[in-house]
Amino acid sequence: MVKIGNVVLDNGMPKICVPIVGRSVEELVQECRYLQDKIYDVVELRIDFLKDVTSLDAIGEALTAVRTELPNGAILFTFRTKEEGGETAVPESYYFELIQYAIKSGKVDAVDVEYYRNRDSIAQTLAVAKEQGVTVVMSNHDFAKTPSFEEITERLIGMKKLGADVAKLACMPNSAKDVLTLLSATEAVKSQYPDEPIITMSMGKLGAISRISGEIFGSALTFGSAKKASAPGQLEVTTLQQILRALH
């Protein structure tokens, strides 16, 4: 059973994750308070939006503020690299330093670790996360295209083989067929690993169907926007929750 905080990522209706993308501690606090009347399961702290993200002290301040606002919340800590659609470019050594800092802070329940990063650093980060009881979501994002069926399945299975608790892949469709490729690959991997959570999505308006069909094809978590979307195609969180309930 894989959890983010107290949220179990199991089969059935996908859990809802809301990204917060404040550029300052004050903005992050506002976003957390905006969520008070929303229905969701996990908050993704997209720390790459923080204007002072190159300072571990600033990251520590942000973590403390978010945890204070969401004392019982399930928090996924993510620094999305520039190469995979993030806001800020940093050296890879610092990328891993800040993720391990977040793990050791005791203020997050899960971290995102990108699949196409240094393998030794990934292994070290996985070991630290396991030691601290923090869930690892391993991810890959392609904002330009949809990889082939074989590539998608290979990447998701590769993440599992590296030791990820959750494998995640997001890609951009350029046709309806691309969306079908992503959904088909999700189903294929899920059928091989029925008891292990995976997260997939096809981005943009064309891929919106993938954000609500997880129960059918096997994606355990979907992303809905609150104040501001962190990726193209995210549905507003309340709308997303209503659609999922209706389908369920």
CATH code of the domain in which 60 resides: 3.20.20.70
Domain annotation covers residue 215: yes
Q: Dihedrals φ, ψ of 179, to 5°?
A: -65, -45
pLDDT of residue 86: 94
pLDDT of residue 120: 98
Residue 46 annotated as part of some ligand binding site: yes
Measured on CA atoms in the order 19, 232, 178, 88, is the torsion positive or negative? negative
> What are the Cα distances from residue 66, in Å, to 54, 57, 77, 168, 184?
18, 14, 11, 24, 37
Residue 44 annotated as part of some ligand binding site: yes
Q: How many domains does the chain have?
A: 1
Residue 245 annotated as part of some ligand binding site: no
Amino acid at site 244: L
Domain annotation covers residue 199: yes
pLDDT averaged over consecutive 10-residue blocks of the chain (248 residues)?
96 95 97 94 98 97 98 98 95 98 98 98 98 98 97 98 98 98 98 97 95 95 82 83 93
> Closest by alpha carbon to 115, among 199, 56, 46, 225?
199
DSSP, collapsed to helix, strand or coil, labels residue 156 as: helix
Residue 119 annotated as part of some ligand binding site: no
Sequence-ordered strand ranges (E) for the chain: 3-4, 7-8, 15-20, 42-46, 74-78, 110-114, 135-142, 166-171, 198-202, 221-225, 235-236
Residue 92 annotated as part of some ligand binding site: no
The neighbour count for residue 68, using CB atoms within 10 Å, is 11
Domain annotation covers residue 1: no
Please give the residue range of the domain that contains residue 105. 12-242
DSSP, collapsed to helix, strand or coil, labels residue 200 as: strand
Amino acid at site 14: P
Contacts of 18 (CB under 8 A, 6+ apart): 35, 38, 40, 42, 43, 44, 223, 224, 225, 226, 237
DSSP, collapsed to helix, strand or coil, labels residue 137 as: strand
Domain annotation covers residue 86: yes
Show which residues are catalytic: 141, 168
Domain annotation covers residue 7: no
Domain annotation covers residue 234: yes
Let me know how long the chain is: 248
pLDDT of residue 248: 86
The neighbour count for residue 62, using CB atoms within 10 Å, is 26
